[in-house]
Amino acid sequence: MKFIYLLPLALLLGACSDDSMDNEPAKAAGDHVWKQQTDTLDKARGVEDTIMQGVQRRDESINTNN
């Protein structure tokens, strides 16, 4: 009969235990859910800058040849 009272008490105590040891290690600063996407956007901006510099050099060379 005592088992009926001890089981719910044991379940309640188990549910309130500290799970801090099971947590993942803290993420590095600047790490977030969309980090891969933002990194890809930064790379695309870098490529855009490179292309725009090439266009600017081409336009300057066309203008100096005329």
Q: Give the rounded percent of residues in the chain with a pLDDT score beyond 70.
A: 68
Q: In the prediction, which pLDDT does 11 show?
A: 76
Average pLDDT, the chain: 81
pLDDT single digits (tens) 7-20? 777 777 777 656 55
Q: Which amino acid is at 62?
A: I
* Helix (H/G/I), strand (E/B), else coil: 26: coil
Report the alpha-carbon distance of residue 55 to residue 47 in Å, rounded.
12
pTM equals: 0.47
For the cut 80, the answer to whether the pLDDT of residue 42 exceeds it is: yes
- Sequence-distant (6+) residues with CB within 8 A of 32 are 38
Report the alpha-carbon distance of residue 11 to residue 16 in Å, rounded.
9
Q: In the prediction, which pLDDT does 41 show?
A: 96
